[in-house]
Structure 1
Amino acid sequence: MLKQKKQKFIDITCSASQLRKAELNKILSPGKLNSTLFSGGRKMDKFFTEDSKLYITPSESAKLRKGIRLDRKTKKWDSLSSRIVNDFVYRKPSQASILLDILERRYEMLNESFAQASESIESHFSLVRLWNLSIVGSVLFGMVMMTFVYRYLGQGAAANQLQVSANAQQMQIGTDGKVSATDTSRDGEEFTRQVLEIERANDKKYLEQEIREMVKGYPIEKMAPYIAQQDRTVAAFIIGIAKKESAWGQRVPTLNGQDCYNYWGYRGQRKLMGTGGHTCFNSPKDAVDTVAKRISTLVEEHGKDTPAKMVNTWKCGTSCEGDAGAPKWISDVTMYFDKLNSD
């Protein structure tokens, strides 16, 4: 029967002869006792015995008994003891860690909160309106900054510009050599006017996009550019009434088999009249301009700014009292009117 060899830890134990030799060296050369490692064909005077990886140290043996996997590969880290790395790996939270479980649940709750907040914002505001709000916010911020610049820095905010006049007037020399004064008191009004013009142009652009998305595939889609040029309330009436009266151009009066472009049940007298006594228009633009003018008059001069107020004039002529279809007309028109004219 073979005798099993007992493993020795040479970094903490030594033979009796080695011990005597070490004691003799202490006497002969006090303070000069050094250790040398011969490994891989190299001689090293300074080293960590545990990092040599030539044997299993007591601390590594204790870890192995606990079932911990050791990383004994050398030269993985530059100027860093692998013992530190091993300890770090050993102390990482496990999958069953209570703290890790709490952190993961908190992270999931945070993600859910962000998702709910995002859905809440999107449900109240369309992407177009959010874009408009950002534009308006930028414009207001710019106006406030311009006010501060004019108020505290004046016209001479540039580094090399001289402040010539204290009452916001800049002296200029004309071509005839005479000195003249340029009044800048209306600069703020001009700036505001330009900003409003830009905002109106942007609103028309996004209104057209909203209309196109809503009526995509219907005959009225070709009228979207002309409808978007109208006031938003008028445009909302044009879309809402057209949906109720003609399904956005699918049920229309005709003249000699041709589309009259009358999608609103409009009955104004003209030279060209279509089926059912309805007006025939010359073009989609003519149709939108004519109907928009009539609706604008009813809204601005007669206060008929909601479908409930508009129904008597548009559907019944004077009064819809006793007309069973009036509530349905109001309901259907309001559905699409509110989509384009909501606050």
Structure 2
Amino acid sequence: MTKEKKQKFIDITCSAGQHRKNDLNKILNPGKFNSTLFSRGKKTSSFYTEDSKLYMTPKEFAKIRSGVKLDRKIGKWDSLSSRIVSDFVYRKPTQTSFLLDILEQRYAKLNESIAQASEGISSHFSMVRLWNLSMVGSVLFGMVMMTFVYRYLGQGAAADQSLPTVPVSQIVSSQRSAIADTSNDVEEFTKQVLEIEKENDKKYLEKEIREMVKGYPIEKMAPYIAQQDRTVAAFVIAIAKKESAWGERAPVLNGQDCFNYWGYRGKRKLMGTGGHTCFNSPKDAVETVSKRIATLVEEHGKDTPAKMVDTWKCGTSCSGDAGAPKWISDVTMYFNKLNDE
């Protein structure tokens, strides 16, 4: 009787005992991982890859023969292989690249956002105003610090140097008077600084107005308009642009300019064409109209063109007036150019 021999492939299947042994080894020795290379019917645990730089691949050899310089340094933090060349040259894809288009759009939007942000800052705060604000802030900070020095250090030092025969009550009273004098000086100095800032702002406002209305009849009124509050001045310029194109379509009396560029209809001795008021001079016109606008802004809260339209254009209410939205948009455009506070 012959016994048949069965061929057993131990590298493909294993017995249940071997499975248990392998599982036990995994539990007893966690974290151990070994790499095995299967090549040409053989397996080995000792081998090297392309990243080891211990040998040259056919692709690398072909690149070297063609004159390409390879980067064969090891131990890099980013684990780049030797297939990366040393002399990298930027090349824009010749064909349409979806990823490239997205990146270009993102960069374009980023540049546009930065440009809009910078324009917004420059339009709200001019360089002159930023300089003046920085100077005022520095002066006020210095005054506050000097007040603390005088109150908590200077006066104490002065008391120590005084004669011992001077009564304590007299020292305290002198200290209080000195402190009071210092506070008065601070208030006076602050008032002077604010007046200088206000005067500089009016000069800059006049410059803005002249640049905006250059060549129009209203240009001669720029010095008087600049003396008004900035919000009032912005209304004066914006409404004049809408109502008369800055004086090019103004009412007249006996062929003479009435200096009424705002459609103002207040009752006076001299009345021009269309029932509009005639003013005696450009100064009279600006002061009268500015006073009316200031009253509407301060007492009635009409500080925007949308709130001003009912009173100035329609008298009471513009409900149902098809021209009201156009009036608001036109006036707002020039109002915002000057009212940047």
Q: CA-atom RMSD, angstroms?
A: 3.0
Q: Relative to 1, partners in 2 of residues 1:325 and 1:169: Cα closer, same or farther, differing over 3 Å?
A: same
More contact order relative to length (CA 8 Å, sep ≥ 6):
2
Following superposition, the deviation at residue 125 of structure 1 comes to: 1.3
Residue 222 (structure 2) pairs with residue 259 (structure 1) = no
Residue 148 (structure 2) pairs with residue 151 (structure 1) = yes
Distance in structure 2 (CA, Å) of the matches to 1:119 and 1:307: 25
Residue 283 (structure 2) pairs with residue 285 (structure 1) = yes
Distance in structure 2 (CA, Å) of the matches to 1:193 and 1:276: 47
Q: Which residue of 1 aligns with 2:122?
A: 125
Distance in structure 2 (CA, Å) of the matches to 1:100 and 1:198: 60
Identify the match of residue 134 of structure 1 among 131, 139, 147.
131
Q: Relative to 1, partners in 2 of residues 1:256 and 1:135: Cα closer, same or farther, differing over 3 Å?
A: same
> Unaligned stretches of 5+ in structure 1?
1-96, 102-112, 171-180
How many residues align? The count is: 223
Distance in structure 2 (CA, Å) of the matches to 1:123 and 1:98: 44
Structure 2 counterpart SS, 1:192: helix
The answer to whether the Cα contact below 8 Å between 2:205 and 2:226 also exists between their aligned partners in 1 is yes
Q: Which residue of 2 aligns with 1:230?
A: 228
Following superposition, the deviation at residue 149 of structure 1 comes to: 2.2
Structure 2 counterpart SS, 1:194: helix
Structure 2 counterpart SS, 1:314: helix
| Mapping 1:1-343, distance limit 5 Å | 120-126=117-123, 129-153=126-150, 167=175, 169-170=177-178, 183-343=181-341
Distance in structure 1 (CA, Å) of the matches to 2:224 and 2:89: 60
The answer to whether the Cα contact below 8 Å between 1:154 and 1:168 also exists between their aligned partners in 2 is no
The answer to whether the Cα contact below 8 Å between 2:147 and 2:182 also exists between their aligned partners in 1 is no
Q: Relative to 1, partners in 2 of residues 1:137 and 1:98: Cα closer, same or farther, differing over 3 Å?
A: farther
Distance in structure 2 (CA, Å) of the matches to 1:219 and 1:154: 57
TM-score normalised over the length of structure 1: 0.58
Structure 1: which amino acid aligns with 2:183? S
TM-score normalised over the length of structure 2: 0.59
Q: Deviations over 1:89-140 (max 9, x none)?
A: xxxxxxxx96999xxxxxxxxxxx9999688424531497222012111111
Distance in structure 2 (CA, Å) of the matches to 1:304 and 1:114: 38
Following superposition, the deviation at residue 151 of structure 1 comes to: 1.6
Structure 1 counterpart SS, 2:260: coil
Structure 1: which amino acid aligns with 2:291? K
Structure 2 counterpart SS, 1:240: helix
Distance in structure 2 (CA, Å) of the matches to 1:216 and 1:204: 18
**Runs in 1 of length 4+ with deviation above 2 angstroms?**
97-101, 113-124, 153-157, 161-170, 181-185
Structure 1: which amino acid aligns with 2:121? H
Distance in structure 2 (CA, Å) of the matches to 1:115 and 1:155: 53
Structure 2: which amino acid aligns with 1:152? V
Distance in structure 1 (CA, Å) of the matches to 2:307 and 2:124: 30
Identity between Structure 1 and Structure 2 (%)? 66
